[in-house]
Every structure is written in structure tokens, then in C-alpha cells.
Chains A and B, each alone.
Chain A
Amino acid sequence: MSTIRKDVIIVGGGPAGLAAAIEMHRKGLRNILIIEREKNLGGILRQCIHDGFGLARFGQPLSGPEYAQRFIDEVIELGIPYDVGTTVLSITPEKEVTAVSSDGLVTYQAGAVVLTMGCRERTRGALAIPGERPAGVFTAGVVQSYINLHNTMVGKEVIILGSGDIGMIMARRMTLEGAHVNAVFEIMPYPSGLPRNIQQCLNDYDIPLYLSHTVTEIHGSSRLTGVTVSAVDENLQIIPGTEKYYPCDTLILSVGLIPENELSLSAGIEMDNRTKGAVVDEYYQTSVPGIFAAGNVLQVHDLVDNVSLEAESLADNVAVYIRDGSLPVCDVQIITDGNVSHTIPQRISGQKEFTLSMRVRCPFKNCTILIKQNNIALKRVKLQKALPAEMIRISIPKDNLKPEAAVEVSVE
């Protein structure tokens, strides 16, 4: 098995990987390679045939495949090399990348590695939902794939657990394909998906959304016959006596996405327990020099437009890294109060402006996001509302920023 040298290996050909590759090409990098395990480029967008992608970037509502195609066309036009049907099996801290395809095993020695592997869905097992294990329990993304890519219909009487965006989108899709969606249940007291999806996917189709409710038992020994649903209190504990039985043949879970970081772990990258993705600096560089991450593998995004932006800023930094062999030290920590669920980056150099992405932990009205260092405000952002479902992006100017004490982010 021979080793091939590459300036940059991009792992994953979804929107993040594609945007990163195009931007690197613009910056003059030529010896780069996108590796994608699917037979086609485009990532998760290939199965998102609904519209609503690219409003920010292209000023028009595109479907997922249309959005992806614009980037794929550009990759092809620019002649950026890519291997599809090829799975990356391992990445070492020394940036040796091993990939497999039906042509065999290949090892690359990369100057830099860009991680854009996307995410996976949380499952029934991870939630430990009690009851039997009949057929008919699916995660939302799997249903989306069955219907949109495999022309296969999964059921007729549907209950959805979790108010994630994909679940709501599938509520509408199943309805349009003739299924009856009874209701969506969400354990939290607020929805986890975007307001526009609640309107367009549930309200417009008279599908009720019950907050502070969860599925407490699954019934059926062969195919699903029904679920028991219970109300929960403010501590998410089941309130006895509130159980209600709903007959159904399909339970769709839309209970969260988890960045897919097996490879990152194999490379010894430091992870953030909150995002379940890598800890990165303002250059999107991980704790292992020369390995970078963007897109859903770094933090789960709700808008693909932001994924593309994130990947492009990453690409600019990779170009500098390849040219200079290193990037400035980043040892200024970003710390948060209890109202912030996470931030990207988690550390910065303190020497230049940067973009902060963050989510709030619970909904706020008329709040202020305060970013300060040494008790000096770096930025204040007033928001009429802030929802956990919506990622907030804030650019922080250089002005008062110093390469010293931690930067604090809080919501008031």
C-alpha cells in the first residue's frame, strides 16, 4: 500500500466539504481531494427535497438538491478532484488518512485535513424508550431517505416524537403522501425546531404539537400497534395518571442530531461535551494542528447557508496554514454562563476579529447577549427573541479584544 501526498484531504462531500474545497481552490490550493463515501456528492441535502435552502446566500428558496448542485457544478467546473464511493477509515494525529473503495485501500499523507463528516440522528436506544421492539419505529432522517431516495413508504398512522426540524418536515411529507399524522410530542416546554417549520409543516396541516409530553411505552410485538404518551413536569419527570394510548403503525423520532466524530476521536482531537464536536479556535483548527472542522460535524446547524459560510472561513485559514506551516496560538478561552448552551469557537487568539456562533439553552424574550473580556464589553446584541432552535452568529470586532483573559458570553 503506497502513501500519496496531498496538501489537503477533505473528509465528506456535503455542503461543508464542497464549500471548503471551492474556497481553497480560489485561494490557489490545487493538490486537494474530497473523499465521499456515498456514490454522489451533496451530503444530507440530497434527501432534503423540500425548499427553504439558500435564502440567505442566493436570495431564493432552493430545494436541498438544488442548493447542493450549485456547489457540485462548481467543483466539477473548477476540476477539483473528488473520490466518491470511498470511505475514510482512519485519521492519525500525524494526518495520515486511510480510505477504502472498491479499488482498494489508499493512504494519504496530508498537509492538512478538513473534517466535514456531518452528523447522525439520536435513536430510540439512546433515549431508552421502554416497551417492545416492533417494526415501525424510525428516525426522521431514515424516513426521509426511504421516501425521497428509495421511493418506499413506511406507514399510514403516524406519531412523531420530538419537534426537531426533520421530524416536522416529515410530518408534512407523510401527510402529502397520504398518511395520517396524529400529533407531534415534545418533552421540553418549547419546540426544538424552527418557528417557520412549526407554521409551514404542522399548523398549515392541522397537526397538533404537544409540548411537555413524551412517549412512555411502545406497543406491538410485530408491527407497531400504538404508543403510550404521558405529560411531564418541569423536571421532565412523568406525571402519573396522564398516560394516554394512541393507536398508530409508525413512530418517527426526531430527537436530535449528534456530530459524527469517530474519526476525530481516532485522530486524538479534543472534543466539546456540549456540542459533541471538536473544540476549535477562530481558525476552525482543532486541538491537533493542521486538522480543521466545519459544518454539522462541528456543531449541528439549522441553516445550510451558515454551513457554507463556516466552511469558507475555514478554507481561508487552511490556505494560510498550508502556506505558513502554522497559525497563531489561540489560548484565550471563551466561557459561557448557564443560559448559553455552547459557542464556536471555544478559544481564540485575541488578536483579530472573529465570528461567534452560539445557541441559547432555553427561549428568551427581549434579551441581551453580552460578550465581555476583563469586564469590558466587546459587544452587546439586543434580541427580541432568542430560541434554542436558532443558531446566533455574532461578529466580534478587534477593538477592545486582548490576547489575555477569557472572553465571557452571557444572556441577560
Chain B
Amino acid sequence: MDELYDVMIIGGGVVGSAIARELSRYELKIGVLEKNLDVCFETSGRNSGVIHGGFAYDPGTYKARFCVEGNLEFDQVAAELGVPFKRTGKVLVGNTPADMESLKRTLESGQINGSCGLEIIDDAQLHNLVPSVIGKFALWSPNSGIVDPFLYTIALAENAACNGVTYLFDHEVTGISRARDRYTIITSKGDYRTRWVVNSAGLGCGKISEMLGLRGYKIVGSKGDYIILDKNVGPLLPMPVYPVPSNTYMGIHVTPTVDGNVIVGPNAEYINEDAFSYYGVSQKEIRSLAESANTLWPCIHKKDYIRNYCGILPKWVDENGKIQDYKIEARSEAPNSVNLVGIESPALTSALPIARYVVSLFAEKESFIRNTTFNPVRKPIIRFAEQNDENKEQLIKENPDYGEIICRCEKVTKAEMLQAIHNPLNVDTVTSIKYRTRAMMGRCQGGYCQTRLAEMIEQEKSKAVEDIVYARNGSKLFVGKVRR
């Protein structure tokens, strides 16, 4: 309690972690309060993983500006942070004259936003790019790409941690008070004092705003469900395929993942704040997703389903229910705070530009000293399965654990698992290891490796089996030993 933080960031998703990382370029004592046991258990781990081109947003908005900025710099960011990223390009597919009008409008706003290389393409060009698609023409965005959203969020957080940021997991913020120019942040695990506070709590942005005394934000959730398909079908989809967008919603699309699976979704169902922690997917939704997406890309068959999931976007709406732009503010009612509200899509793409903007708001009030030891580079865990034979041999020679396959579907080795278990954030849920290695993410969904994974966590972290957690707080996997 007694340590005084310079900045306390509430929420360690992709946005909070990007802010933490950008602030760690300066000599500051920074903490991140995160209620979950890892950084990508909410929206940052529950999306399409698309690095958007920036054409679908109204010109002049933060969404448009930060998205284009984030997109253009992403090759360099991905290389620096060791994150799988592919600039695949993307098509928005249409059939009718009305679709064409709509795509032309999108193209125009995209050009104003600064989104590069946009072009309307005809039937032949479209089918040349994606032979399996159904459609007559498309808007082609060569700059769109796909990223591993888990690893991107993890990479930002790990890089922040390696540059001195303290992550405090399982810390839910329940109240904030201010006295004598200091904030006291009340959490489920004790109180913290800080000079500055940042609200990057994602779905919790409304509540934290209230705690800061910034009242009146109305937040609704837009819940989207997805089906994940087997890698079998991956080769049929070289890039994301979207329908013609409406003003507020991108439509059900199909997206390849960087690892070669395909995700189908999302729909968009409006929900209230009390349902923000429900991540269930219904049978009806699964069926309608497949039906809808099959009209765009007729390759979705039940035999290829390996999993489903959903994500929830926090949307800030006005009194008429109209969706607003991002709100990023430093208000005098809450001095020394930066408040982020309605940070919805495309915040995966925009996280670093948003973070730099947040830093600029600080810089208006205070001048920071540069952290001369800041290192922007994060070394990824080298993946055995992605190496050529020569490198594979070299890896095993240097570390024989690279020769022991633990996950049969994704060919993850013991060496990778051990590096993931001893990660810089010191998190050790089963899902944390899964996101860092892809173990359990293949078609058998852990049928082969999860017993080994659990045993490795038990041994490496000297844990009792009762304390091994699947993902969320309290999601214990086991009740104990069968016999002592």
C-alpha cells in the first residue's frame, strides 16, 4: 500500500498493455491492475484478429485516424514484438447495384481516411484472389492483414513488464478516491496509491468512469459469436472475406487466422452491462452464423467445427442510442487521469496509436524523463513446427527439449511449453500456456496434451493440483489427488 505509483493503469487488455508499454519508455513507476489472471481473457482475446485498413470509419474520427496509423506501422511493430502477422489483404464482396454504391462510398471515405491502395475489383479479379468466394465484385484492401490477437496482447504486456511495468493480476478495481493530489485505488487485493490513473478497462470503462467521478456514459455491449474451423479448410481462404458493411456493423465474415484455421462470425447482438461477463454461445447462433457465411464462402461444414467463442464490444452511445467515436479524455474533474470510453473495434489495430495519444495527454501536464534502458524488442518463443529441418536440428542440438513433442496437433515441443510456463508476466493458467504456445488449440482440443500440460504446471510451479486453474479466477480444473 505504501509504495506510490506514478501511473496506475486499470485494465490490461491490448489497449492497457499498449499504454503500459509506451509509458515504460519513461522513468516512471507503472502498475497495471487487471481483474483476470492474464491479459487477453476479455475482448482482446475475443475478436477477428484483423488489422483493419481504416476505410470503414467516418472521416475525422479517432477510429479512422488511429486505425490507419496502426495499420501502416504494423509490419515494424510485429517484427519488433515477435508477433505473427500477415498482410493478406481483404475483400468486401458485393452482388447488387446497391452493394456497389455502398462499396464506392466506403472506398471514398477510406481514401479520405488515408487508407492506401483501395480499389473496386470485378468478378474475375475477385475470383483470382479468392476462388471459393460467392460474389460479383468487391472492394479490395491490399493493406488489411491478420494478427494473432493473443500473442499481440501478450507481447505488448511482456515487453512492458521487461521494461519495468508491474502487472497485478486478480486485482479487481472496486473504488477510487482522491485526496491530497493522490489517488487511492481500492481493489479486491488491497489498496494502491498513485499520482496518475488510466481507465482502459474495456467493458468496465463505464464503471471506472463513475468511480473517477466522470458520470453519464451509457455503454452497451455488442456480442458477437464465432465458429472456429479446422485447418483442413484454411487453404481455401487466403484472406478475410467480408460482406458489404452497414454503418455500424461489419457483417458476418470469414477470416483466416495466422495459424491457418478459419473463423466464422461475428453476429451482433446488443446486450446490457449486466450480461458483460456471459461468454456463452447458443445453438441457434451457431447455426445462423454458418448459414449466413455460407452465402459468402460456401465451405463451412459441421465436420470442420473445432470450437466456438464470442466477444463483446463496449459501445458508447448517446441518449438516442447512436454509437459514438472513442472518447479519450483528461478532464479537470478528475485531475491526472486519462479516461478511455467506448474503445471498441478497431482497437486491436489502433492500440499503439491510442497509447501514444494517451501519453501525449500526460505530456501536456508533466514532462517525463526518458528511460534510457528501454528496449522495444521482445523475443518470441521459437516455434519448432514453423522451422525448416536444418533449424529444427539446430534447435534440438542446443536444447533437446525441442525434440519432445507435447501437443500432437500443433506440434508444440516441451521446450516451448517450458518457456511459456516461465513467462515474464508470471501467469500460469492452462489457458495462458495455451495462448502462448498453441498447445490445446488444435483439432483434438487438448485430448492428448492437456494432462501433460497440467502436470508441467504442477511441477514447474510447485503447485498443488487443486490450485491449477483453467482460465478465469475460480476455474479450478481438479479437486485433488486420487490417492495421497
Give chain A's interface residues, CB within 8 Å of chain B. 1, 37, 85, 87, 89, 98, 100-105, 120-121, 123-126, 128, 130-136, 139, 141-142, 145-147, 149-156, 177, 216-218, 221-223, 249, 260, 262
Contact = CB atoms under 8 A, between A and B. Distances in A.
Interface in B301-334: 302, 305-309
A141 B470 contact: no
B283 A216 contact: yes
A104 B401 CA distance: 10
Contact of A152 (B278, B280, B401, B482): B482
* Interface SS of chain A: mixed
Given A101-B404, A146-B451, A153-B482, 8 more contacts: A102-B402, A105-B393, A135-B476, A139-B447, A142-B450, A151-B482, A221-B278, A223-B476
Contacts of A103: 396, 400, 403
Contact of A221 (B279, B283, B446): B279
A130 B222 CA distance: 19
Contact of B447 (A142, A217, A221, A222): A142
Nearest to A179: B479
20 contacts: A1-B389, A100-B405, A102-B396, A102-B400, A104-B393, A123-B447, A126-B305, A130-B282, A131-B280, A132-B278, A133-B471, A135-B471, A150-B451, A150-B455, A152-B482, A153-B480, A153-B481, A154-B479, A221-B278, A222-B475
B445 A123 contact: yes
Nearest to B471: A135
Given A151-B482, A222-B475, A104 B397 contact: yes
A120 B405 contact: no
A152 B306 contact: no
Given A121-B447, A135-B477, A37 B408 contact: yes
Q: Which of B278, B404, B481 has the most CB of A within 10 A?
A: B404
Contact of B479 (A87, A133, A150, A155): A155
Given A121-B447, A146-B451, A156 B479 contact: yes
A365 B454 CA distance: 46
B70 to A, nearest CB: 30
Contacts of B280: 130-132, 217-218
B396 A100 contact: yes
B189 interface: no
Interface residues of B, number: 56
B477 A154 contact: yes
B445 A125 contact: yes
A100 B304 CA distance: 28
B451 A142 contact: yes
Nearest to A178: B482
Interface in B431-469: 444-448, 450-451, 454-455, 465, 469
A156 B479 CA distance: 8
A83 to B, nearest CB: 12
B138 interface: no
A242 B474 CA distance: 31
A47 B64 CA distance: 56
Contacts of A98: 389
Nearest to A173: B482
Nearest to B225: A130
A89 B412 CA distance: 12
Most buried by A among B308, B389, B447, B474: B447
The 7 closest A-B pairs by CB, nearest first: A135-B470, A125-B307, A102-B400, A222-B474, A102-B403, A135-B475, A222-B475
A89 B411 contact: yes
Contacts of B403: 100-105
Interface of B: 227-228, 277-283, 285-286, 302, 305-309, 389, 392-393, 396-397, 400-405, 408-409, 411, 444-448, 450-451, 454-455, 465, 469-483
A101 B397 CA distance: 11
Contacts of A128: 227, 283, 286, 302, 305, 308
Contacts of B393: 1, 104-105
A103 B307 CA distance: 35
Contact of B472 (A221, A249, A260): A221
A125 B305 contact: yes
Contacts of B392: 100, 105
Contacts of B470: 134-135
Contacts of B448: 120
A121 B278 contact: no
Given A102-B401, A132-B280, A142-B450, A153 B305 contact: no
Contacts of A249: 479
A217 B308 CA distance: 13
B262 to A, nearest CB: 14
B481 to A, nearest CB: 5
A298 to B, nearest CB: 18
A123 B279 contact: no
Contacts of A1: 389, 393
A332 to B, nearest CB: 29
B79 to A, nearest CB: 28
Contacts of A152: 451, 454, 465, 478, 480-482
A234 B454 CA distance: 41
Contacts of B309: 133
Given A1-B389, A100-B403, A125 B479 contact: no
B469 to A, nearest CB: 7
B280 to A, nearest CB: 4
Contacts of B228: 125
A308 B165 CA distance: 59
Nearest to B411: A89
Contacts of A105: 389, 392-393, 396, 403
B404 A141 contact: no
A218 B279 CA distance: 11
A142 B281 CA distance: 24
B279 A87 contact: no
Nearest to B404: A102
Contact of A142 (B305, B307, B446): B446
Contacts of A101: 403-404
B286 A87 contact: no
A89 B392 CA distance: 12
B286 A130 contact: yes
Q: Which of A37, A121, A123 has the most CB of B within 10 A?
A: A123
A99 to B, nearest CB: 10
B408 A87 contact: yes
B279 A135 contact: no
Contacts of B477: 135-136, 154
A273 to B, nearest CB: 9
A249 to B, nearest CB: 8
A304 B409 CA distance: 25
Contacts of A149: 451
A120 B440 CA distance: 13
Given A132-B279, A153-B478, A222-B472, A104 B306 contact: no
A405 B404 CA distance: 49
A220 B278 CA distance: 9
B404 A223 contact: no
Contacts of B307: 124-125
A102 B392 CA distance: 11
A71 B455 CA distance: 29
Contacts of A102: 396, 400-404
Given A135-B477, A153-B478, A126 B286 contact: no
A378 to B, nearest CB: 34
A48 to B, nearest CB: 15
B321 to A, nearest CB: 28
A151 B478 CA distance: 11
